[in-house]
Structure 1
Amino acid sequence: MKFLFIAPRFHNNQYYWVKSLTDHNHEVRFWVWRKEPLENYSALTPSLIPRSSFGLPKILSCYREMKALDPDIVVVRDPRSFLFVFVSMLIARMQKRKVFIYSQTPLYQTMSWVKKITVRLMLRFFGSLWITPIIGDMRYPKFHPRAFYVPFAIEPQAQEKSPVRRPIRIISVGKIYQERKNHLLLLEAFYDSLKKSDIRLTIIGALSGNSPEYFNKMRVYIKKYDLEQTVEIKTNLEHNEVLREYAKHDLFVLPSSNEPLAYSPLEAMGAGLPVICSDTNGFRWYVKDGENGYIFKSEDVSDLKDKVSLAIPRLQEMSKNSLNSVKQFYTPKSFYEKFMEAVQSV
């Protein structure tokens, strides 16, 4: 089959989706509005959507290119948020193609009547079905009968991690210029441990040249509290370099708040790391609290400290659980089976 993905950019969380489809001999193309540094194009190189001098998509060019590609299914990233995606979806429907709408919204949830009507209208007039990588709270109904859960995927490491040795190495991966990643909260939570215990912290993330303010605040904090010997910050690493870093660490912590669904925690689990994230991060639905990680109350330094204290004595046990979770639910094979289940439904 031929698949065309349309999104603002090629996020690395799409890498194994694309690779899995191409490994099964499907043809995949990816249209993006922009390209960013550090994106992993080893499975596929995305194409920029033609745009006018006014910054709008060239509708006729998009129409012709889509017609030439002749995809069986067009997968669009939430058209409620991006005008160019909505335009692309209209073109796909004009050409009578099947459209999958992809968003990071929980499959099982309660929705306001306004959102319900919006979803129903979009699926009725434009989309064949809706896919999401967030399962949500199964005490509630699916937000639409034609909505499907399709998980993010990662290739798990072949072997279990070796026994934990001192110093304990903790890693956090997230854009350093975004305040919602809460790196300062992380430093505050680990201040006592970093000063008194045998613990090391590594923070990895992209750093925008135009947005160094938050990064500078982190550097000031580290210097003020004399943490230079216990905290290391690594910026703008290539994706494969980041993947290698997980294997050098024992525990992953991402304190971000109000994040639809972070991908770096799944990469960490694939390397056998227990994961700690907040209760306002969509990744909480991938964490079995107390088994492969912990969920802490968002923005609560004290609760984050408590969860780290609970995890450290159980790192070896929880490491095995993390790896087993990935092998059971989040491999490229898991993605492919769920995705093709959705495809076959139409």
Structure 2
Amino acid sequence: MDKKVLCLIDCLNSGGAQRQMVGLAGLLKQNGYSVRLVTYYDIPFYKPLLKSQGVECEYLEKANNKWFRIYAIYRYLTAYSPDAVIAYLDGPSIIACICKMLGGKFRLIVSERNTTQRLSWKERIKFWSYRFADKIVCNSYTQARFVENHYPLLSPRCEVITNYVDLERFQPLPREAFEHPYLHIVGVGRVSEQKNILRFIEAVNIVRQHYPVKVSWYGMKDSYFAWCEKKIEEYRLNDIFTFYAPTQEVERVYHEADLFCLPSIYEGFPNVLCEAMSCGVPVVCSRVCDNPYIVEEGKSGFLFDPNDVQDMVRTIERFIELPDNQRRELAANARLRVEQLCSKETFVNSYRRIIDA
């Protein structure tokens, strides 16, 4: 009988963790597992993709209430009786660990999808709960080192499985040249403090005084967005810097870019950076966490200090001043780098080995 795998995540919004979990569910399904994905918030951005992959998806309405969430999910897991549970993000991982502590008879895989910046009380509870997990998957080497340094007793159960990229979907398109009358910079990600967009806006304001540029940023918005709007108004960038809602056709967004920029203060193993590179788009990004591992300085992209606006400006202008043949070389090397790092076969086979252990 096929092994039953339950994938647990908070919702199906347009976030990177959601994208990877939906992809994992589909790949496990293709490899003969019986897969069901469960959420406790009804945000269905990726539901059409799950449906196209033939993966069952269930929204637990009772678990939407935080006071009944653990009980509702525990009851559900007891009734469904999966062979393995894979939990992404902090909340679902903690809940899955509690369910395992209460007697759950499943193999539990929790996953670290970002890098810990400080040990808050919630982080401490999470890492305490991980003693009940069978495997802790980090999607970045930076976070694996954090676990090793701060929680050495968990380290033997910790494994790095970096994100995968659908190389068939995110393919380069042939382009005659970089012929926009301006440099079109694209960014993708939640409009939040982590993404460092305020400093990016400051850098764009300086760059545009020397070169024609336009910026398109796609992503969900939180309260930080109001500060970004204020900064754009202050610098009169309304015709230059535009925010857009998340899109199901994100590959089209990459294909429209001359340059992709990810200015984050910290990251895990960023999907959007790897997807842009897979599409053959030259990239510039912050020199943080696993970014220098993904982007080879001067070969597959350029790196900058996210806390230094002038360094960001210098890096963008360095790219602008490249001749077309060197831009093409960066783009080709970016694609090759992702082919080396982000194979879906390596990704799914790593999870299969853990599930079947």
Instruction: Say if 2:187 is the partner of 1:172.
Output: yes
Question: How many residue pairs align between the two structures?
Answer: 326
- Structure with greater helix percent: 2
- Distance across 2 between alignment mates of 1:262 and 1:305: 22
Partner letter of residue 95 of structure 1? G
Question: CA shift at 1:311, angstroms?
Answer: 3.1
Question: CA shift at 1:76, angstroms?
Answer: 2.3
Partner of 1:34: 41
User: Which runs of 5 or more structure 2 residues have no equivalent in the other structure?
Assistant: 13-17
Question: CA shift at 1:171, angstroms?
Answer: 0.4
- Distance across 1 between alignment mates of 2:145 and 2:45: 39
Partner of 1:99: 108
Partner of 1:192: 206
- Distance across 2 between alignment mates of 1:52 and 1:158: 38
Question: CA shift at 1:62, angstroms?
Answer: 3.0
Partner of 2:86: 75
Question: CA shift at 1:41, angstroms?
Answer: 4.1
Partner of 1:203: 217
Instruction: Say if 2:306 is the partner of 1:298.
Output: yes
- After superposition, the C-alpha distances for 1:134-153 in whole angstroms (9 at most, x for unaligned) are 12399999662232221212
Describe the shift of the 1:324–1:15 C-alpha distance in structure 2 as closer, same or farther (beyond 3 A).
farther
Instruction: Say if 2:341 is the partner of 1:329.
Output: yes
Of 122, 129, 133 in structure 1, the residue corresponding to residue 135 of structure 2 is: 129
Partner of 1:254: 262
Describe the shift of the 1:190–1:63 C-alpha distance in structure 2 as closer, same or farther (beyond 3 A).
closer
Question: CA shift at 1:184, angstroms?
Answer: 2.2
Partner of 2:350: 338
- After superposition, the C-alpha distances for 1:196-221 in whole angstroms (9 at most, x for unaligned) are 3133221222235xx3xx43443444
Describe the shift of the 1:8–1:193 C-alpha distance in structure 2 as closer, same or farther (beyond 3 A).
same
Partner letter of residue 165 of structure 2? I
Partner letter of residue 239 of structure 1? Q
Counterpart secondary structure, 1:340: helix
Counterpart secondary structure, 1:298: coil
- Distance across 2 between alignment mates of 1:101 and 1:289: 32
Partner of 2:158: 147
Of 6, 9, 13 in structure 1, the residue corresponding to residue 8 of structure 2 is: 6
Percent of aligned pairs with the same amino acid: 20
Partner of 1:238: 247
Counterpart secondary structure, 1:196: coil
- Distance across 2 between alignment mates of 1:248 and 1:9: 29
Counterpart secondary structure, 1:299: coil
Supply the RMSD in Å over aligned alpha carbons: 3.3
Judge conservation of contact 1:180–1:258 (CA < 8 Å) in 2.
Answer: yes
Describe the shift of the 1:338–1:221 C-alpha distance in structure 2 as closer, same or farther (beyond 3 A).
same
- After superposition, the C-alpha distances for 1:21-73 in whole angstroms (9 at most, x for unaligned) are 222232222222323364454125342363386633252x4344223322221
- After superposition, the C-alpha distances for 1:209-256 in whole angstroms (9 at most, x for unaligned) are xx3xx434434443443434433322x23332x331111112111212
Of 302, 309, 331 in structure 1, the residue corresponding to residue 317 of structure 2 is: 309
Counterpart secondary structure, 1:25: coil
- Distance across 2 between alignment mates of 1:53 and 1:198: 50
Counterpart secondary structure, 1:291: coil
